[in-house]
Amino acid sequence: MTKEIDMQEMTLKYGCNPHQKPAGLSMADGSALPFEVLNGNPGYINFLDALNAWQLVRELRMTTGLPAAASFKHVSPAGAAVGLPMDDSLRRACFVDDLPEVQDSPQAIAYARARGADRLCSFGDWIALSDRCDAATARLIAREVSDGVAAPGYDEEALTILKAKRKGSYALLRMDEGYQPPVEERREVFGVTMTQHRNDAVIDESQLCTIPTAKKELPDAAKLDLLVALITLKYTQSNSVCFARDGQAIGVGAGQQSRVHCTRLAGDKADLWHLRQHEAVLSLPFLPGLSRPVRDNAVDLVLSDRAEAALAGEGWRALFSERPRVLTVAEKRAYLDSLTGVSLASDAFFPFDDSILRAAQSGVSFVAQPGGSVRDDEVIAACDRLGMAMAMTGLRLFHH
């Protein structure tokens, strides 16, 4: 049922878990909610994802001037991207090569990229779009498993397509583009109310001007990737590290207590993103009619260290028409070693050079981080040894 745009509060079916009742949302000052529910019945966690994801894509749009999309799960992005054209390998890896209309819609491209960053983690995602949802984007969304969409508007055909999803219960939010939140944020934990100035820091190229490494040059493509990574981190649960390439996040490491564990997690995801575009993976002989989520899991299996054991005997027949060729460890390493030009950003300083050493294994050439560690010199020296250019932004981006 459509809610009125001037609604001041909503009752939700429950909070984070079914036993957490009652639950609801409202505006502290009694003003109207900054969105309209066009379809479905979004829940507590849906709104946490939607409101964070909407901020991310809105900021990407303002900074880059390009349509943006985000794929959110559990209050962190699985992927985020702007609408740069996709080459044939990436279209195939993202399973959108059968939808040529996607290439004609920058908004659809942005979501295809965001969803394709980490397709396993994007299963059941909440989607945010910076621009009006058109029919091409809606058709792409319609065939993926997701919980809902937040966008500033929807074409009529897009609404028709998406309202048919989930037997008519698919959640759709129309966001108020003009809404600006209060400067002061409040949250309550264990009965204690905490306040802070909201994180309204503007992320732009001015944060990329201080480069203490021997390599100083940041090409325009690297600047875009670093901005995408930094804005993604602004709305990612800390500690967090983001790898980016070609206008999209390709690996997000979120919510780890150790900086190097963030880097390892994000780097492993970035490696898988690259390996999914290897011709041996693009040519996997899937059984006809295999669902998209099952294909996603099959790709992950083939690229895992347990692939040979899992496909031993007749196990492969449930997924493939013939036994697939599995890349050896040496083949994967050679492929990854050929990569350069990847960008990496961190939401806080690197306390040691271990993250830089791990980043080098995933083709990182450009880095952005706040700086301020007592071991900054060691981190800079590691970048110099590895030929990386590193910008010190002076801006910490913790998000909790």
**pLDDT tens track for 40-50:** 999 999 999 99
Residue 3 pLDDT: 41
Tokens linked to 353: 């050079």
Domain pair 9-180 / 202-275+335-392, same fold: yes
**Active-site annotation, residues:** 73-74, 239, 400
- Look at residues 120, 114, 161, 116 and name the one whose alpha carbon lies nearest to residue 142: 161
Tokens 């019945």 found at = 41
Domain segments of the chain as ranges: 9-180, 202-275+335-392, 279-326
Residue 310 pLDDT: 84
Bridge partner residues of 73 (DSSP): 76
CA distances to 347, 348, 350, 381, 392 from 378, rounded to whole Å, are 19, 16, 10, 5, 14
pLDDT tens-digit series, residues 171-184: 999 999 999 999 99
Bridge partner residues of 189 (DSSP): 192
**Sequence-ordered list of residues with C-beta below 8 angstroms from that of 27, at least 6 positions apart, any chain:** 8, 9, 33
8 A C-beta contact, residue 118 and residue 150:
no
Residue 311 pLDDT: 87
Task: Kindly report each contact of residues 315-320 with a partner whose C-beta sits within 8 Å and lies 24 or more positions away, as own/partner.
Answer: 318/287, 319/286, 319/287, 319/290, 319/294, 320/284, 320/285, 320/286, 320/287
- Look at residues 248, 285, 222 and name the one whose alpha carbon lies nearest to residue 116: 248
CATH architecture of 202-275+335-392: 3-Layer(aba) Sandwich (3.40)
How far from each other are the two terminal CA atoms of the chain, in whole angstroms?
33
DSSP state of 258: S
Bridge partner residues of 132 (DSSP): none
- pTM of the full predicted structure? 0.95
**Sequence-ordered list of residues with C-beta below 8 angstroms from that of 356, at least 6 positions apart, any chain:** 350, 367, 379, 382, 383, 386, 388
CATH 3.40.140.20 fits 9-180, yes or no: yes
**pLDDT tier at 312, thresholds 50, 70, 90:** confident
Q: Which run of H or E residues covers position 159?
A: helix 156-163
**pLDDT tier at 213, thresholds 50, 70, 90:** very high
What percent of the chain clears pLDDT 70, i.e. is strictly above it?
A: 98
* DSSP-based three-state secondary structure for 205: helix
